[in-house]
Structure 1
């Protein structure tokens, strides 16, 4: 186990041509600073021993006052489609890739500092992050990991008394994010739309050599890469839909080449089953509504396929993209059927009926599924009736059919209960829960951030949780709408 000063850096990305990035040191946060929270789980990915680590040194790293030996900070250049419109002027505008750390298992982890100050790609913005958004990403990404949803990780947050202007004045903060790579769909779009075939080839070779080495001997490496990325991304969006996660800003520059949840903004989990829910108030046309996420993800993959066309051919690229719908439906059906403990093919109509009932009653479907898993059928029925006092005849018929099918699938009741509780969380990082932690943190009390970090480490076990952690939103509560600065 190591301290920050003992980490082994590789910095493969900084070996690429200068057109790929701007070398830049972090702009130090000003004023009084404090360490808000640290994830021991994320630290373990770097072989980082938090017991040996000097806390002031960690704070100095987070606030831009110190760099580990071997770090080579840079801002990555990329482009992307934002709300369907191509924007060539993108890049790391408020974050820096500090370097690439190699752990004892030979795994490579990017250290990316969000809120590190202005870069060549800041587009007149201040290059800062705020405490509110940093807490949301910190808790959100760590929670998604423990839910089994692929995601970037978060090591730590620091805050400063330096004020920054968003919808209001807020405290500047930084978040140290970890990922095997920060390459986005938009990296490929940048070189394609620039007409830089050489740069595009260099990027493709870099990604294959370092992230997808199994494709080195592929007869069509570009189409092979698209197929691998699509497969991972299909698994990702299927899990989003199965657990009610809304990303909020699914631009192509927010899509990871590794199929991970990337760039947390106005994300939210559905409090009530509302398929058309839009969590981003900037999305006035509902482009990124919850039920549109699979289609948008496919659209983004088409953009990636178009960017790869100079290195492949249309027939091969099209053949990959045409598999998306079937791959997604298969993954999604398996996940939803597993949550209800039924067969993904024979019992799929039963799953569809369940979701329709949840929508009609605006039910807290996360709690309903957990109560079904625990065998608390009466409480589940009361939740299904909800504030709208929905008649329960349809629910009763569904419940009778479900009990018959789930008993056939899992004859042993105790085995069934354990299995269903393993895939149906009792706690999620709901927006209201996160906001409580944010409000306390903005007053200088970081205890709730750290408590929630512990709570969200095991979302399937009710032990150690407070009643409020397990409860849904208050009766009559409206699902919140967030901003891109969230």
Structure 2
């Protein structure tokens, strides 16, 4: 068995003002609850070693291989629109980077590992429930094909944390392309640290967008690349009914991965104004607001980069105009991705006038009839032959019938046969999502009874979201009215 060999490029290549060397706080009775073996294999890790006492010590933050010096990363951020000049990793530590089997560097971070310089009087710990939620939802997103951080391990600490009540403690090992955020650039911008900004931008380009490294306009190219990947990411969220919940600038990764799963959720019944987060009192991050907020967040990145965009552009005024154009392209990127995706979700794989109006009309009918977002689209494949499954999700099924008649007329102009089209629709419309009531049931069983069976079953189902799993049919169903979970919580 062999221990991993970590790299430390973030600490080596970037100025120390961007991080603080920090040792995790040891835990008293660590216990490995879950190990993501497929991810471990992808990272080139020795699964036997990870499951050994030495490996579990590392995953718990008690002991690391020789040469590892964990760091807490510094960043700022707009939180619900209000700028905070210093945030940073208050309960997380970057252990280091691993080269995966493709040669790509991946961060390994412990979350819930104890206080840091950036904890702001917090305990730096995490409760079992929020760590389970991040494990479940991040792996569900990965299975859906949506860029995301992932969870390597879930470890019980044997200790309690205190929030509203006493709760069992846990920590996770989170894997990311990197943990560089929009807020990381804002941290340097508010300090007018231009040298640090260039160093961070060059590092981010080399790590995430290496084709730009030799470009004479690399900083503008970097901004444009981040705009493009973020616009695509949010379109992918919108196409599966996902609500991030806390889309602050410090929760936006420049890699284009979904990061920082807190009060996140998937919708059951569709409504564009849906909010789950207990701290989003004004609906700033409601489902339908996510594309607009993404543009706003990216504009904050452009503002941070302005001092070095002028390097490329030959002056600050020209840099401002180029930044404005880059941000202006975000909506077009988003619409191109979302419009293609929504056409495909209703089985239209060629593009014709009126397609988007047809899709918009369906969404409007779904909102007015409390139709389940996931199953309505999934069951459209069965409506092709008139079997009637999708209409059952509508309070007034006759409202669906008029739309379906126009939809079938449009399908008749598609070149594919019905069976092939239905198969393609099922390949992009999931049957299984991380429904809130299932996530909460798994958390409740583990937290209250020490029963991790529901957690393991849920992970198994969500690993195959597009497949028919007859033995797991109950996991596809929306909750009964009395079982609906209407609020989710951050966990800090």
Q: Would the TM-score normalized by the shorter structure come out above 0.5?
A: yes
The number of aligned residues is: 477
From 73, 97, 109, give the equivalent of 2:94. Answer: 97
From 31, 37, 44, give the equivalent of 1:34. Answer: 31
Q: CA deviation at 1:107?
A: 1.3
Find the residue that maps to 2:75 and give its secondary structure. strand
2:436 paired residue number? 431
| Cα distance in 2 between the residues matched to 1:185 and 1:179 | 15
1:380 paired residue number? 390
- Deviating runs (4+, > 3 A) in structure 1? 51-55, 374-377, 475-479
1:367 paired residue number? 375
| Cα distance in 2 between the residues matched to 1:80 and 1:393 | 48
Find the residue that maps to 2:76 and give its secondary structure. strand
Find the residue that maps to 1:156 and give its secondary structure. strand
Deviates more, 1:451-460 or 1:254-263: 451-460
Is 1:470 paired with 2:476? yes
Whether the aligned pair in 2 keeps the contact of 1:271 and 1:430 (CA below 8 Å) is yes
Alignment of 1:56-455 (within 5 A): 56-312=53-309, 313-342=319-348, 343-346=350-353, 347-375=355-383, 377-385=387-395, 390=396, 392-409=397-414, 411-442=416-447, 443-455=449-461
| Cα distance in 2 between the residues matched to 1:141 and 1:306 | 30
Q: CA deviation at 1:29?
A: 1.7
TM-score of the superposed pair, with normalisation by structure 2: 0.94
Gaps of 5+ in 2: 310-318
Q: CA deviation at 1:47?
A: 1.4
| Cα distance in 1 between the residues matched to 2:437 and 2:170 | 21
Q: CA deviation at 1:79?
A: 0.4
- Change in CA separation of 1:210 and 1:449 when aligned onto 2, cut-off 3 Å: same
Q: CA deviation at 1:51?
A: 4.6
| Cα distance in 2 between the residues matched to 1:29 and 1:54 | 17
TM-score of the superposed pair, with normalisation by structure 1: 0.95
Q: Describe the superposition over 1:157-202 as per-residue Cα deviations: whole angstroms up to 9, x where unpaired.
A: 0112311111211111101000121100001000001111111111
Q: CA deviation at 1:464?
A: 6.1
- Change in CA separation of 1:463 and 1:477 when aligned onto 2, cut-off 3 Å: closer
Whether the aligned pair in 2 keeps the contact of 1:119 and 1:127 (CA below 8 Å) is yes
| Cα distance in 1 between the residues matched to 2:392 and 2:136 | 31
| Cα distance in 2 between the residues matched to 1:344 and 1:42 | 38
Whether the aligned pair in 2 keeps the contact of 1:371 and 1:377 (CA below 8 Å) is no
| Cα distance in 2 between the residues matched to 1:476 and 1:446 | 24
Q: CA deviation at 1:262?
A: 0.5
Deviates more, 1:57-66 or 1:246-255: 57-66
2:16 paired residue number? 18
Query: C-alpha root-mean-square deviation of aligned residues, in Å?
Result: 1.6
From 448, 461, 466, give the equivalent of 1:460. Answer: 466
| Cα distance in 1 between the residues matched to 2:290 and 2:470 | 34
Whether the aligned pair in 2 keeps the contact of 1:76 and 1:97 (CA below 8 Å) is yes
